[in-house]
């Protein structure tokens, strides 16, 4: 239902009955699947996928009209404590 490259062109997200993320290689090389995320809507149909800045998260829209964010937790606390030392 939706296909999206990240800003660098290194990752490809595909939304359909589930969400799949691939690491994009050259045209001649096989692309490596990195992650398969479930469609948590219960509808079985994700309708859109978008990468966030620096590919740190993926936003997924689905037929139940919800937006789900998949990604890493914020690391700001780690940086602040390192600066205080």
pLDDT tens-place values along the chain, 85 residues long = 899 999 988 899 999 888 999 988 777 778 888 998 877 767 768 889 999 988 889 999 888 888 889 886 665 543 443 444 3
Delimit the domains of the chain by residue range.
2-70
Rounded Cα distance, 50 and 23, in Å: 15
Q: pTM of the predicted model, to two decimals?
A: 0.71
Using DSSP's 3-state secondary structure scheme, residue 31 falls into coil
C-alpha dihedral (52, 57, 58, 61), degrees to nearest 10: -90
Longest dimension (CA), the chain: 49
């Amino acid at each position: 239902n939706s296909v999206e490259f990240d800003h660098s062109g290194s990752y490809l997200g595909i939304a359909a009955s589930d969400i799949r993320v691939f690491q994009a290689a050259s045209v001649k090389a096989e692309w490596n699947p990195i992650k398969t995320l479930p469609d948590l809507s219960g509808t079985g149909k994700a309708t859109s996928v978008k990468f966030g800045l620096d590919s740190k998260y993926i936003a997924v829209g689905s037929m139940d009209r919800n937006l789900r964010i998949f990604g890493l937790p914020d690391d700001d606390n780690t940086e602040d404590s390192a600066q205080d030392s």
